[in-house]
């Protein structure tokens, strides 16, 4: 079949994203759809492969302490570009472009969406035409923030020179059609609708890409895009089919396409509020560490709630092949994943026993446990989303069997995740007892992710309710581990520390109750070859290798 | 008129209706519109078909045109023989629709009652006029236009060239009716059917149209079937008369026979009910009519009234603003009522007559302040109506009541009659409890309605009965003054006579005063003590009824008197006598100052306007 | 007539200003945040910076004033520049979307053709079907044709497009495979074959929308013809001996069209609104689809601009309807 | 007609008394209405469906939100409607779940009933509210000349608002505050009813105003004024009863649009919270599984369509029955 051959031999490939890309500059938009669509055109120095391992793209190799690319003190990293790289307009790619990219995103007025990638960067220097050195303000065991992964690709200095800072949004032409090094070149961009591209004549690998053109359609629904690939064959690739497993399975019977799935570290979890969200409290102390939670402060209750849940059933109903039950906050990559399986089997009796032990008993016979005149009743909130509401219903059902009453609440995603300090309904404010959402860390290193649960990092009125320690978790021992991790360069050792931290949050304290390790399901036509679904980087990371299978 | 027809040619029968029966399919089963009617029409003669509303006049004529089918009717029996010009006699009742179309508009023309709606509003007059010509005569556009112009001249429309390009709404009612006549005459039909062609028009215009039709008939020798319910018009127009009653022909004869020697009781009572202009000559006071059945004992007893002044109106002026221009400001005023002064004595009737739009109704409403007058004073007894606050004004309604023209519109269709009659009593709380019911019963008796009607709804009553309910309602509060705005105009003559008699009886019994507004001179003559003739918002002549009717001084009054048709075939009008100017517009710019009305007293109480009235 | 038109045109300016204010204030109350789409991994400080870059911090009246200037002054200049090659708008701040950071109007202009094609075509088809149907059902009132016509239009009236849409999609696109499921906006018609494809992809959305239009307009037409058939002037026309065809098709229809034409004109903006659902169901990337997506991602400038464009369309077509009424009906005289 | 030869002269001129017993207009309306088959069906269906959703929960006592316990879910979910067994012998059907269950094992029949309750409640409430607003504004502006200009400008203005877009915007904006004040269901109900009513009263207002203006010129209103009836009584006794017919017709239209609008909002995902089913929501939730479980789309879809069809036919019949011109025929 068509593995090898000249560039553009396979004609057109049609990709559908039900969330339509609105811009091709990932520095101006954090949306996955935008980052992934732009990855056809612009590339970073290195990417992560489906297993989470770094692979060089524009760089000759991935710098490490071992090969000398990363300084011993972990405060600088030096990248070397491949030789002879050309932009799609034929001009050479130089270290100046890389340096420019950093300046572009680090401009304080630009509102760069990927600013986090450049956290702690003090300088980016072009040592020569091909060498770039990035220096950090402190040791960075994981220095692969800038220029690594789909979020921080290299843009052409010449094209974006006039687009610095506040002027960034004005460069519509550049934002809609960046000149890149990727396999394809934009010919037409219609925001929120369609992108058409043709193969990049100056792409560095001969014979790639196999396709001469791409039609990148945005819009419709996950369902329609699934049908369009697997049932009607109108498209070759459909992104992120967030559909119930039975629906996907049924679509696959159409025979025109197949679903593919892969797992990363995206974990759907329950967060237990360790502080009291009661509306009777004054706003200064409500849901702050000053007021411990009257029910959930007791670890036994949290554990009971955790083991009462039938995670297998949740997966079966909500995700099918696209999910697996997990008890870990960090389920991947392998070296960071703890072998924590205790919660996987539902144990209602155990849960009941735990609650009895904690003093929660049903004294008035209404089926709901109580203690000191207080009912074991919880407010459980999440964002509005079909699967989440199914989960809420199922979990409510399970908890009712152990005598816990649950009130469900779902909030509009834009409000729940919006972070508006004025709104009582953000996930940071946590004006509820339990909340559910999914989160993941960038790339493959969980350091920052785990560091979020530091004492004092919780959202509170002083910090305008910003902060990542949603549960208001506080354990000095845990904080010590955070510091240790930040200075440890050895991978083995890092894994050990991270697993310990993971266990402290989950297994030991049940502060975080992981439910499902959510994979991603996408679909591609049976005739499309070369697809390797990647959850650590853009799904389209290897589009240059895609080809049409002969029938 | 037979004598004017070509004497050499014996009158030939053009249309013969034999035993016509027409049925309508309605939701309550079949309804017979015409039971059994036979008569014929000869060339050059005018056959008038008379009868009250619903007697089947229109249905007969529509059957002749085979247009009843489109209204849901069916010719269930009889023959309609029609003598085609170049062919034999055909029976229109079962002719091929294709041939019928060739006859319609070509050999039989028809004029309809409502000039306001009979023309298609979106096409020019010219287009509607030429349509038939181009169809039946195969004329080219220019030929048809020439002929259309000719027709317009024939019906004496001023500025015919310009009219052809105008739309119907740009013409006055009289002109529109002429256009309809022109359309009917376009192809020189052998038979012209005119279904109440003048009922909706003012007397003056009616006179002109009648004269016009008479002239056209004489000029073209067309046979005319003229439908009307107005005996005066019959007297003016007919050669022969067919009287219809509830779907049947009850009598037929020449016009003289019918008027002078009616046979059928219905014809007799019909004729008795018609007020004839000049009937009251020599009598000082109005008196109820003698109807065929003298159940009314007061008939013929004069109503004198008193000398005590009840209502005094001085310099009443009412104007309506006309908004326009870019900012919707008042750019002009309709001078609906201009410097009007008159008075009414207790127990007497003052009538206001005049053509449509001259401001009669506005005057009546201004007195009750249902529209706000601009200036003037209105005194009822000692109360100055103009000075009253809104609340007191309401109380003043205890003394003044109104009866309206349209008996179908003046009752709330959703309320029971007894409630409607009792409503003023409730409003003012003059009576309480059972007394109200008694009063309502008494009022029903008074207006001669069966008490069983009290629970009915207006749509279950005939027009005359409704008008009696309206009168009962007006009487409920024992008012001193009743303003009757065209109170009998919408009624059939026979019913009209009954209602008029009722009003007069009530007047003599209760000493009521009436402001009687009407455009019908004959009726006015019957009921009034005093008469005011209005023209363009002003009273041009006012005085005791006898003085105004027997000795009209103002040129407008004189013209009006000439125009009124008289229900006597021996007093036919001549077209030559008629001379009317179109009424000028009552709309004047803001800078226009109306002159005060100045009157000359020709005899005691008889005043004639000296100011230029616009006539 | 001219005064009337100008008067109405001028009156529509305060109306539009007021509407724009309403829309603007309504949107300012929005509790949502355009940053909600940004992944949780992005730290708050970065989000804050992004927010400032979007101009979110300014006082309301400044934002409103800016938006007004941009919409009413700068955007027309851009259009002018585009057509005449001038450079009035050079360097001026346009209405910028929060999603794609580009001028909203550019995308609106890009999308209008899709909407016009599908929605416009549906409307034309609907009108072309409904008028004869309306006339004939009125003429043969209570006949089988009328009864069944009434029934079908009733169904068209009653069955919501979000039911027919997916249903027809599944039947014709997925099961039968006769037409594509998703509308391809990039498709260019250049020959017969590509025309066929275009036809296939348009037929479903067009028919679903047209069903609604047909239902409504044919009912209006029927009522209007019925009204006119009972008028006296029809009898006059018949008494002239005109054939039924002329009576109905010339005299009656001409009069009946007067109210219907205005209904048609007034319906145009409404179907842009109604097209939102159809566009979502069939994946037509028109302005309805654009609106929904902007709303879902809290892209206030786009929502605002589109809502306002809808308002302009409504006001404009109201005006057209009024003027048409005057043109068609000689009895109406505006002064 | 039983007319004897009119030899008595007076008899000849007498009015023929109506032979029938007094009948109010409503009796006539009803007899005309009865003849309209579609309207009878429509009205009947509306009554039926209203009773169905009102009484249904007391007869079919399954909690629409109830999930099967634990692992039973796997056997109890995705049950097909019972009639599927007629042609598909292997289908998973259960007598206890006559219309089947959804993907979480919730009973579909119970959900259709509950969904119907919500949809109908929204429809009725929005219709009544919009009628009240519309009639109020229409009467005020038709009757009081001074208010007319401003009220009608206001109406025109609201008419110029892009309704569906604003509806969506409003739902997005006010969803959260109302839900936190009145609870998720009640808050949403108030919001949707309010928003539909606020955006749909204008036609009623215009029609009522037009009717009032015409009625005001009718002589019976003048007559009422001339007998000293107060404004309030004129409005309540003379005007309102006479505009009841256009109001009823717009009521039916309003009910139909309200039901459709609510369903459309739910379909677009702007409606009630997910655990609170309405027909529109059931429909949109079922669309992804349409090929496999067509009944889940068809049941709510047909329920919406039939209800709206019934209401529209009812309106048609009412229009005919209430129009005196047609009724006379
Ligand atoms: N379309 C119709 N459907 C049912 N009945 C009808 C119809 N047209 C006329 N009729 C009935 O036929 C009878 C005769 O009506 P026609 O119109 O001929 O009366 P008319 O003498 O012309 O009265 P008018 O003086 O009021 O014009 C009436 O009883 C009327 O109710
Ligand atoms: N409400 C109004 N607004 C403006 N103009 C009016 C109004 N009412 C009456 N007019 C005008 O005032 C003039 C007099 O009208 P009015 O109704 O008093 O005449 P009328 O003599 O009663 O006529 P008719 O015999 O037709 O009833 C007419 O030109 C009419 O158009
Ligand atoms: Mg007649
Ligand atoms: Mg009058």
Digit-coded pLDDT (tens) for D299-315: 999 998 899 888 888 88
CA of residue B354 to ligand 4 center, whole Å: 10
**Which of B331, B338, B362, B484 gets mutated to test ligand 2 (max ligand atoms within 8 A of its CB)?**
B362
Given an 8 Å threshold on Cβ–Cβ distance, is D226 in contact with B368?
yes
Q: What pLDDT is stored for residue B225 in this prediction? A: 93
Q: Which domain holds residue B172?
A: 4-272
Name the residue with the closest Cα to ligand 2, atom 26: B356
Given an 8 Å threshold on Cβ–Cβ distance, is C102 in contact with A168?
no
CA of residue B592 to ligand 2 center, whole Å: 19
Ligand 1 pocket residue status of B56, Cβ below 6 Å: yes
Q: What pLDDT is stored for residue B8 in this prediction? A: 44
**Which one of B76-80, B590-594, D130-134 scores highest in mean pLDDT?**
D130-134
Quick one: chain D helix, strand, coil %, rounded to 5? 75, 0, 25
Q: Do B216 and B354 share a domain, yes or no?
A: no
Q: Is residue B39 part of a domain?
A: yes
d(CA A188, CA C53): 26
Ligand 2 atom closest to residue B537's alpha carbon, by position in its atom list: 14
Q: How many CA atoms lie within 13 A of A312 on its CB side?
A: 10
Whether B6 and B223 have beta carbons less than 8 Å apart is answered as no
The domain over range D42-61+108-327 is classified in CATH as 1.10.150.120: no
Please check the confidence at residue A2 and state whether its pLDDT lies above 70. no
Please check the confidence at residue B462 and state whether its pLDDT lies above 80. no
Q: What pLDDT is stored for residue B68 in this prediction? A: 87
Please give the DSSP secondary-structure letter assigned to residue C90: T
Q: How many CA atoms lie within 13 A of D96 on its CB side?
A: 8
With contacts defined as CB-CB under 8 Å, which chain B residues touch D324? Answer: 413, 459
CA of residue A423 to ligand 1 center, whole Å: 74
Q: A60-97, pLDDT tens digit by residue?
A: 999 988 888 888 888 899 999 998 899 999 999 999 99
Out of B119, B135, B186, the one facing C233 most closely (by C-beta) is B119
Please check the confidence at residue A1 and state whether its pLDDT lies above 60. no
Q: Do B260 and B354 share a domain, yes or no?
A: no
**Residue D33, preceding bond cis, omega within 30 degrees?**
no
Please check the confidence at residue A420 and state whether its pLDDT lies above 80. no
| Interval C114-128 mean pLDDT | 86
Min Cα–Cα distance to chain A from C197, Å: 13
Q: What pLDDT is stored for residue D328 in this prediction? A: 43
Ligand 1 atom closest to residue B71's alpha carbon, by position in its atom list: 1
| Interval B443-447 mean pLDDT | 85
What residue ranges do the domains of chain D occupy? 42-61+108-327, 67-105
Please check the confidence at residue A403 and state whether its pLDDT lies above 70. yes
Out of B266, B370, B474, the one facing D222 most closely (by C-beta) is B370
Please check the confidence at residue D256 and state whether its pLDDT lies above 50. yes
Whether A542 and A272 have beta carbons less than 8 Å apart is answered as no
Q: Do B331 and B243 share a domain, yes or no?
A: no
Residue after which a domain boundary falls, among B215, B243, B272: B272
CA of residue D62 to ligand 4 center, whole Å: 70
Given an 8 Å threshold on Cβ–Cβ distance, is B104 in contact with C239?
yes
Please check the confidence at residue B47 and state whether its pLDDT lies above 90. yes
Q: How confident is the model at residue B345 (pLDDT cuts 50, 70, 90)?
A: very high
More confident residue, D112 or D3: D112
- Per-residue HEC secondary structure of B90-141 comes to EEHHHCCHHHHHHHECCCEEEECCCCCCCCCCCCCHHHHHHHHHHHHCCCCH
Q: Do B146 and B248 share a domain, yes or no?
A: yes
Q: How confident is the model at residue A395 (pLDDT cuts 50, 70, 90)?
A: very high
CA of residue A544 to ligand 4 center, whole Å: 90
**Judging by DSSP bridges, how do beta strands B400-403 and B481-485 pair with one another?**
parallel
Ligand 1 pocket residue status of B594, Cβ below 6 Å: no
Q: How confident is the model at residue C170 (pLDDT cuts 50, 70, 90)?
A: confident
Ligand 1 pocket residue status of B31, Cβ below 6 Å: yes
Q: What pLDDT is stored for residue B307 in this prediction? A: 86
Given a contact as 3+ CB pairs under 8 Å, which chains touch B?
A: C, D
With contacts defined as CB-CB under 8 Å, which chain C residues touch D156? Answer: 15, 318
Count contacts between B and D (CB, < 8 Å).
126
d(CA B315, CA B595): 11
Copy the structure tokens of residue A337: 């994943």
Name the residue with the closest Cα to ligand 2, atom 28: B357
d(CA A443, CA A144): 9
Please check the confidence at residue B348 and state whether its pLDDT lies above 80. yes
Please check the confidence at residue D5 and state whether its pLDDT lies above 50. no
Min Cα–Cα distance to chain C from D319, Å: 11
Ligand 2 atom closest to residue B363's alpha carbon, by position in its atom list: 18
Tell which residue, B272, B348, B254, B245, has the closest CA to residue B306.
Answer: B348
Q: A264-313, pLDDT tens digit by residue?
A: 888 999 999 999 998 888 888 888 888 999 999 999 999 999 999 999 98
Give all domains of chain C, ordered by start, each with its CATH number: 105-328 (1.10.3720.10)
Query: What is the number of domains present in chain B?
Result: 2
Mark the residues whose beta carbon lies below 5 A from ion ligand 4.
B 361
d(CA A106, CA A97): 14
Ligand at minimal distance from the CA of B333 is 2
Ligand 1 pocket residue status of B557, Cβ below 6 Å: no
Q: D261-308, pLDDT tens digit by residue?
A: 888 888 877 777 766 788 888 888 888 788 788 888 889 999 988 998
Q: How confident is the model at residue D2 (pLDDT cuts 50, 70, 90)?
A: very low
Given an 8 Å threshold on Cβ–Cβ distance, is D70 in contact with A250?
no
> Which residue in A has a C-alpha nearest to residue D285's C-alpha?
A386
Residue after which a domain boundary falls, among B249, B272, B295: B272
Ligand 1 atom closest to residue B33's alpha carbon, by position in its atom list: 12
More confident residue, A134 or D33: A134
> Which residue in D has a C-alpha nearest to residue B364's C-alpha?
D226
| Interval A345-374 mean pLDDT | 90
With contacts defined as CB-CB under 8 Å, which chain D residues touch C31? Answer: 173, 176-177
Q: A512-547, pLDDT tens digit by residue?
A: 999 999 888 899 999 998 899 988 888 899 999 999
| Interval B412-425 mean pLDDT | 87
Residue after which a domain boundary falls, among B272, B297, B328: B272
Q: Is residue B335 part of a domain?
A: yes
Please check the confidence at residue A324 and state whether its pLDDT lies above 50. yes
CA of residue B485 to ligand 4 center, whole Å: 7
Q: What pLDDT is stored for residue D323 in this prediction? A: 67
Ramachandran region, residue C127 (left: φ > 0; alpha: ψ -120 to 50; beta: rest): alpha
Chains B and C touch (3+ CB pairs under 8 A): yes
With contacts defined as CB-CB under 8 Å, which chain B residues touch C335? Answer: 324-325
d(CA B11, CA B144): 31
Given an 8 Å threshold on Cβ–Cβ distance, is C26 in contact with D163?
no
d(CA C188, CA D235): 62
**Which of B319, B332, B361, B372 gets mutated to test ligand 2 (max ligand atoms within 8 A of its CB)?**
B361
| Residue B100 CB-density burial (10 A; 0-12 exposed, 13-18 middle, 19+ buried) | middle
- Per-residue HEC secondary structure of B486-510 comes to CCCCCCCHHHHHHHHHHHHHHHHHH
| Interval D39-45 mean pLDDT | 88
Residue ranges lining ligand 2, Cβ < 6 Å: B 320, 334, 336, 354, 356-362, 519, 586
> Which residue in D has a C-alpha nearest to residue B31's C-alpha?
D1
CATH number, residue B397: 3.40.50.300
D219 and chain B in contact, CB less than 8 A: yes
Q: What pLDDT is stored for residue D21 in this prediction? A: 57
Q: For all residues of chain B together, what is the average pLDDT?
A: 85
* C-alpha C299, offset from chain centre: 21
Please check the confidence at residue B1 and state whether its pLDDT lies above 60. no
Out of C39, C182, C184, the one facing A224 most closely (by C-beta) is C182
| Interval A375-381 mean pLDDT | 91
With contacts defined as CB-CB under 8 Å, which chain D residues touch A424? Answer: 180
Q: What pLDDT is stored for residue C52 in this prediction? A: 67
With contacts defined as CB-CB under 8 Å, which chain D residues touch A418? Answer: none
Ligand 1 atom closest to residue B59's alpha carbon, by position in its atom list: 18
CA angle C259, C262, C267 (to 5 degrees): 125
Q: For all residues of chain C together, what is the average pLDDT?
A: 81
Q: Do B347 and B226 share a domain, yes or no?
A: no
Given an 8 Å threshold on Cβ–Cβ distance, is D22 in contact with B460?
yes
d(CA A461, CA A470): 13
Chains A and B touch (3+ CB pairs under 8 A): no
Q: D52-77, pLDDT tens digit by residue?
A: 889 988 888 888 877 787 777 778 87
Minimum mean pLDDT among B107-121, B218-232, B449-463, C231-245: which range?
B449-463
Q: What pLDDT is stored for residue B241 in this prediction? A: 93
Q: How confident is the model at residue A436 (pLDDT cuts 50, 70, 90)?
A: very high
d(CA A190, CA B168): 56
**Which of B55, B245, B270 gets mutated to test ligand 1 (max ligand atoms within 8 A of its CB)?**
B55
Name the residue with the closest Cα to ligand 2, atom 16: B359
Given an 8 Å threshold on Cβ–Cβ distance, is B495 in contact with D233?
no
Please check the confidence at residue C97 and state whether its pLDDT lies above 70. yes
Q: What pLDDT is stored for residue A498 in this prediction? A: 92
Out of D67, D175, D288, the one facing A223 most closely (by C-beta) is D288
Q: A155-193, pLDDT tens digit by residue?
A: 999 999 888 877 777 788 888 889 999 999 999 998 888
Q: How confident is the model at residue A243 (pLDDT cuts 50, 70, 90)?
A: confident
Q: Do B460 and B548 share a domain, yes or no?
A: yes
């Amino acid at each position: 079949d068509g593995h090898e051959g000249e560039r553009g031999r396979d004609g057109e490939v049609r990709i559908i994203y039900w969330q339509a890309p609105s811009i091709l500059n990932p520095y101006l938009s954090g949306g996955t759809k935008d980052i992934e669509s732009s990855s056809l055109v612009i590339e970073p120095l290195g990417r992560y492969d489906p297993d989470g391992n770094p692979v060089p793209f524009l760089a000759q190799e991935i710098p490490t302490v071992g090969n000398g690319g990363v300084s011993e003190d972990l405060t600088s990293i030096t990248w070397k570009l491949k030789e002879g790289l050309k932009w799609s307009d034929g001009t050479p790619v130089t270290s100046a472009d890389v340096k420019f990219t950093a300046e572009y995103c680090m401009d304080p007025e630009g509102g760069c969406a990927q600013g986090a990638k450049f956290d702690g960067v003090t300088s980016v220097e072009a040592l020569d035409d091909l060498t770039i050195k990035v220096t950090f303000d402190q040791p960075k065991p994981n220095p692969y923030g800038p220029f690594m992964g789909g979020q921080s690709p290299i843009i052409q200095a010449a094209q974006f020179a006039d687009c610095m800072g506040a002027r960034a949004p004005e460069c519509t032409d550049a934002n809609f059609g960046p000149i890149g090094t990727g396999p394809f070149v934009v010919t037409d961009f219609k925001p929120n609708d369609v992108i058409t591209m043709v193969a990049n004549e100056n792409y560095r690998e001969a014979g790639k890409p196999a396709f001469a053109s791409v039609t990148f359609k945005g819009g419709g629904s996950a369902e329609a895009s699934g049908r369009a690939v697997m049932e009607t064959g109108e498209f070759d690739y459909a992104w992120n089919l967030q559909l119930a497993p039975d629906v996907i399975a049924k679509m696959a019977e159409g025979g025109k396409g197949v679903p593919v799935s892969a797992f990363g570290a995206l974990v759907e979890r329950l967060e237990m509020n360790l502080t009291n969200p009661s509306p009777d409290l004054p706003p200064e102390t409500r849901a702050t560490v000053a007021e411990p939670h009257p029910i959930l402060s007791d670890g036994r209750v949290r554990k009971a709630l955790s083991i009462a849940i039938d995670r297998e059933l949740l997966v079966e109903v909500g995700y099918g092949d696209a999910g697996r039950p997990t008890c870990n906050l960090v389920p991947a990559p392998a070296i960071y994943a703890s072998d924590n399986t205790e919660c996987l089997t539902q144990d209602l009796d155990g849960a009941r026993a735990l609650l009895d032990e904690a003093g929660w008993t049903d004294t008035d016979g209404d089926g709901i446990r109580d203690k000191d005149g207080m009912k074991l009743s919880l407010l459980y909130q999440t964002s509005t989303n079909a699967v989440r509401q199914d989960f809420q219903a199922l979990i409510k059902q399970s908890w009712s069997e152990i005598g816990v009453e649950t009130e469900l609440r779902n909030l509009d995603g834009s409000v729940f995740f919006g972070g508006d300090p004025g709104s009582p309904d953000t996930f940071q404010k946590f004006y509820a007892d339990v909340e559910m959402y999914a989160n993941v860390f960038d790339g493959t290193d969980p350091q920052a992710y785990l560091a979020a649960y530091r004492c004092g990092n919780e959202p509170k009125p002083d910090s305008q309710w910003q902060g990542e320690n949603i549960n208001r978790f506080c354990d000095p021992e845990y904080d010590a581990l955070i510091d240790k991790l930040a200075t440890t360069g050895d991978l083995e050792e890092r894994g050990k520390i991270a697993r310990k931290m993971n266990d402290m949050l989950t297994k030991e304290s049940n502060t975080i109750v992981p439910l499902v390790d959510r994979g991603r399901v996408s679909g591609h036509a049976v005739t499309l070859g070369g697809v390797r679904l990647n959850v650590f980087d853009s799904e389209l990371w290897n589009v240059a290798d895609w080809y049409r299978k002969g029938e | 008129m037979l004598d004017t027809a070509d004497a050499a040619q014996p009158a030939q029968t053009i249309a013969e209706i034999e035993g016509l029966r027409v049925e309508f399919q309605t939701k309550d089963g079949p309804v017979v519109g015409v039971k059994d009617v036979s008569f014929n029409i000869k060339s050059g003669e005018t056959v008038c078909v008379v009868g009250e509303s619903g007697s089947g006049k229109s249905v007969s004529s529509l059957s002749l045109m085979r247009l009843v089918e489109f209204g849901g009717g069916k010719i269930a029996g009889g023959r309609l023989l029609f003598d085609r010009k170049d062919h034999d006699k055909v029976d229109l009742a079962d002719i091929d629709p294709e041939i019928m179309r060739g006859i319609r508009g070509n050999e039989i023309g028809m004029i309809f009652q409502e000039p306001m709606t009979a023309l298609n509003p979106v096409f020019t007059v010219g287009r509607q006029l030429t349509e038939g010509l181009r169809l039946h005569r195969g004329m080219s556009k220019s030929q048809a236009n020439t002929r259309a112009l000719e027709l317009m001249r024939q019906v004496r429309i001023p500025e015919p060239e310009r009219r052809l390009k105008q739309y119907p709404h740009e013409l006055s009612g009289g002109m529109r009716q002429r256009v309809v006549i022109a359309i009917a005459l376009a192809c020189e039909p052998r038979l012209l059917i005119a279904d109440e062609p003048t009922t909706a028009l003012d007397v003056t215009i009616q006179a002109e149209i009648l004269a016009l039709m008479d002239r056209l008939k004489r000029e073209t020798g067309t046979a005319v079937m003229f439908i009307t319910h107005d005996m005066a018009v019959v007297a003016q127009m007919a050669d022969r008369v067919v009287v219809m009653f509830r779907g049947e022909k009850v009598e037929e004869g020449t016009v003289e026979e019918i008027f002078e020697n009616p046979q059928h009781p219905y014809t007799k009572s019909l004729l008795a009910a018609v007020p004839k202009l000049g009937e009251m000559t020599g009598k000082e006071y109005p008196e109820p009519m003698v109807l065929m059945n003298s159940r009314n004992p007061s008939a013929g007893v004069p109503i004198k009234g008193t000398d005590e002044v009840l209502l005094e109106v001085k310099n009443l002026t009412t104007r309506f603003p006309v908004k326009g221009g870019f900012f919707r400001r008042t750019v002009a005023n309709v001078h609906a009522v201009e410097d009007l002064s008159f008075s009414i004595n207790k127990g007497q009737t003052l009538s206001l007559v005049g053509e449509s739009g001259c401001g009669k109704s506005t005057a009546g409403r201004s007195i009750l302040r249902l529209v706000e007058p601009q200036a003037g004073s209105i005194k009822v007894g000692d109360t100055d109506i103009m000075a009253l606050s809104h609340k007191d004004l309401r109380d003043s309604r205890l003394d003044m009541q109104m009866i309206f023209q349209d008996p179908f519109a003046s009752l709330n269709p959703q309320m029971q009659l007894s409630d409607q009659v009792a409503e003023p009593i409730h409003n003012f709380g003059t009576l309480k409890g059972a007394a109200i019911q008694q009063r309502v019963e008494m009022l029903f008796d008074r207006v001669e309605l069966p008490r069983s009607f009290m629970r009915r709804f207006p749509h279950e009553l005939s027009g005359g009965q409704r008008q009696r309910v309206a009168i009962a309602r007006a009487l409920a509060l024992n008012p001193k003054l009743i303003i009757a705005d065209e109170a009998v105009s919408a009624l059939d003559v026979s019913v009209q006579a009954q209602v008029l008699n009722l009003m007069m009886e009530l007047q003599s019994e209760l000493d009521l005063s009436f402001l009687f507004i009407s455009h019908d001179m004959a009726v006015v003559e019957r009921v009034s003590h005093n008469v005011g003739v209005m023209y363009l918002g002003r009273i041009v002549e006012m005085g005791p009824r006898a003085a105004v009717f027997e000795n009209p001084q103002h040129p407008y009054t004189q013209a009006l008197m000439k125009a009124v048709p008289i229900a006597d075939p021996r007093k036919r009008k001549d077209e030559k006598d008629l001379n009317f100017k179109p009424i000028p517009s009552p709309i004047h710019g803001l800078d226009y100052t109306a002159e005060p009305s100045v009157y000359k007293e020709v005899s005691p109480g008889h005043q004639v306007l000296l100011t230029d009235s616009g006539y | 007539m001219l005064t009337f038109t100008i008067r109405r045109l001028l009156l529509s300016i305060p109306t539009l200003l007021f509407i724009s204010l309403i829309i603007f204030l309504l949107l300012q109350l929005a509790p949502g945040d355009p940053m909600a789409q940004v992944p949780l991994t992005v730290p708050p400080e970065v989000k804050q910076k992004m927010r400032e870059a979007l101009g979110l911090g300014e006082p309301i009246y400044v934002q409103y004033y800016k938006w007004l200037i941009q919409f009413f002054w700068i955007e027309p200049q851009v259009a002018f520049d585009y057509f005449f090659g001038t450079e009035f708008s050079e360097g001026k701040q346009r209405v910028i979307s929060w999603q794609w950071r580009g001028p909203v109007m550019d995308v609106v202009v890009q999308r209008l053709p899709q909407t016009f094609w599908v929605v416009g075509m549906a409307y034309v088809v609907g009108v072309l079907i409904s008028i004869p149907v309306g006339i004939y059902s009125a003429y043969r009132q209570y006949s089988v044709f009328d009864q069944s016509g009434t029934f079908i239009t009733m169904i068209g009236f009653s069955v919501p497009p979000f039911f027919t849409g997916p249903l027809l999609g599944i039947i014709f696109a997925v099961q039968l495979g006769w037409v594509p499921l998703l509308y391809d906006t990039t498709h260019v018609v250049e020959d017969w074959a590509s025309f066929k494809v275009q036809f296939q992809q348009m037929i479903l959305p067009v028919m679903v929308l047209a069903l609604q239009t047909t239902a409504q307009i044919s009912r209006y037409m029927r009522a209007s013809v019925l009204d006119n058939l009972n008028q006296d002037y029809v009898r006059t026309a018949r008494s002239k001996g005109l054939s039924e065809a002329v009576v109905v098709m010339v005299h009656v229809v001409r009069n009946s069209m007067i109210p219907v034409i205005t209904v048609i004109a007034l319906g145009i903006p409404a179907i842009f609104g109604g097209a939102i659902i159809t566009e979502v169901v069939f994946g037509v990337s028109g302005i309805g689809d654009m609106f929904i997506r902007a709303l879902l991602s809290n892209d206030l400038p786009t929502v605002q601009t589109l809502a306002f464009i809808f308002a302009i369309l409504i006001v404009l077509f109201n005006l057209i309807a009024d003027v048409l009424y005057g043109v068609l009906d000689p009895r109406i005289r505006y002064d | 007609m039983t007319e004897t030869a009119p030899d008595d002269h007076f008899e000849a001129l007498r009015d023929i008394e109506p032979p029938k017993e007094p009948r109010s207009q409503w009796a006539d309306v009803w007899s005309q209405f009865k003849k309209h088959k579609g309207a009878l069906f429509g009205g009947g269906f509306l009554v039926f469906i209203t009773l169905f959703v009102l009484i249904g929960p007391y007869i079919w006592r399954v909690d629409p939100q109830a999930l099967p316990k634990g692992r039973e879910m796997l056997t109890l979910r995705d049950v097909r409607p019972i009639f599927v067994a007629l042609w598909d012998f292997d289908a998973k059907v259960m007598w206890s779940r006559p219309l089947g269950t959804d993907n979480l094992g919730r009973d579909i029949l119970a959900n259709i009933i509950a969904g119907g309750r919500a949809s109908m409640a929204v429809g009725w409430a929005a219709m009544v509210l919009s009628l009240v607003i519309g009639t109020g504004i229409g009467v005020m502006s038709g009757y009081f000349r001074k208010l007319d200009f401003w009220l009608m400008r206001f109406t025109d203005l609201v008419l110029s608002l892009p309704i569906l877009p604003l509806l969506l915007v409003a739902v997005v904006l006010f969803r959260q505050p109302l839900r936190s004040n009145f609870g998720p269901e009640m808050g949403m109900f108030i919001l949707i009813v309010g928003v539909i009513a606020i955006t749909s009263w204008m036609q009623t207002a215009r029609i009522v105003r037009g009717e009032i203006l015409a009625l005001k010129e009718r002589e019976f209103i003048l007559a009422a004024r001339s007998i000293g009836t107060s404004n309030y009584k004129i409005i309540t006794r003379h005007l309102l009863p006479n505009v009841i017919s256009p109001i009823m017709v717009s009521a039916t239209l309003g009910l139909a649009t309200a039901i459709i609008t609510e369903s459309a909002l739910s379909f677009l995902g702007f409606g009630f919270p997910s655990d609170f089913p309405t027909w529109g929501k059931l429909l949109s939730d079922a669309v992804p599984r349409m090929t496999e479980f067509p009944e889940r789309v068809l049941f709510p879809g047909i329920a919406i369509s039939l209800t709206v069809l019934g209401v529209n036919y009812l309106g048609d019949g009412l229009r005919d029955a209430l129009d005196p011109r047609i009724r006379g025929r």
